[in-house]
Amino acid sequence: MVKKVLKNTNFMFFFATVLAFIYPNMAIYLEKYMVIALIFLMTFSLTEVRLRGLDIRADLGSIAVALMLNYVFLSGIIMVLTILLIRDVSLFRGFIVMAAIPPAIATVPLSTLLKGDTRLALMANASIYILSILLVPVILLISIGTSTVEPLQMMVVLMELIVLPLIISRAIIRIPYYEILKRDQSIPINLGFFIVIYVVIGLNRDILLHESSMLLLVSIIAFMRTFFSGTLVHKICGIFNVTFEKKVTYTLFGSYKNLGLAATIALLLFGVRATLPSAVCIIFETFMFTYFSVLMRENIAS
């Protein structure tokens, strides 16, 4: 029973969110473990991204589309709306970090659950995460500037949160009993996300409850970069008669960012308030899987 609960991603996300609002006191103590939690969940998540044996050249066009959807379309929506609506410096930086980071690793398992093109999701994620080692610092330095972000500090953060988990994940998939361990792989990932979500929302609880005008603006951006962006990509794919499997995967790449990574980088570089955009977007993304499930079922029915 306990294992079943720990494997339920939607429940773990929802419970972490509710607990952070009801009892946020532990967030300040767990904050120092947030980097460890993210390395932990990133490592197990990245075991899904197999680099060996992938013939990227065969699907280069589709991978390029996924890259453009996540780093041009979705990041563009985040940046444009942030420039138009956000005047608070910390929130601005938090959204820029969100725009700079790669897609959620969850695009791979979600593609499977929604009957999408899992192979494409796998190859696109592998390619984008490798590219993100260069893309993240370039986007941050161009958007925020070297006077605000120390390039060396940023590279250290990226090494800790992307490169290190990627290296460790290669070692884990070589463990003889990995295929058996894989059955419970969602448990360490969900526990890591639980800590990250609880800390991010818990630290921002008072702001979320009392700064209504600011929260409205952040929520508008959160809605546009989740539900609106995903629905738009889905509809455009329909217009161009994209296959159902690719439509599912493109929709995910056009709406999901790695918010745990975004929150941790924002916290390390800019402080607690800069994690607020990720905190609000995490709440929106908690309900996205259910929404996309309905959206895809309607597509099959039609």
Q: Which domain holds residue 41?
A: 2-301
pLDDT of 141 over the 90 cut? no
> What letter represents residue 194's amino acid?
F
The model's pLDDT over 216-225, given as tens digits with 9 standing for 90+, comes to 999 999 999 9
Residue 4 pLDDT > 60: yes
- Look at the block and give the residue holding tokens 């959620």: 104
CATH of the domain at 100: 1.20.1530.20
Rounded CA separation 95/274 (Å): 8
Question: Mean pLDDT over all residues of the chain?
Answer: 86
Quote the pLDDT of residue 38.
85
- pLDDT bucket at 53, cuts 50 / 70 / 90: low
CA dist., res. 218 & res. 98, Å (int):
13
Confidence of residue 278 (pLDDT cuts 50, 70, 90): very high
Predicted local confidence at residue 147, as pLDDT? 61
Query: Is residue 63 classed exposed, middle or buried when 0-12, 13-18 and 19+ CB atoms within 10 A define those classes?
Result: buried
Whether 277 contacts 218, CB under 8 Å: yes
One-character DSSP codes across 45-104: HHTT---TT--GGGGHHHHHHHHHIIIIIIHHHHHHHHHHH---HHHHHHHHHHHHS---
Q: Is the model more confident about 301 or about 232?
A: 232
Number of domain units in the chain: 1
Share in percent of the chain as helix, strand, coil (round to 5): 80, 0, 20
Highest mean pLDDT out of 73-87, 102-116, 180-194: 73-87
pLDDT band (50, 70, 90) for residue 229: very high
Segment 37-64 shows an average pLDDT of 77
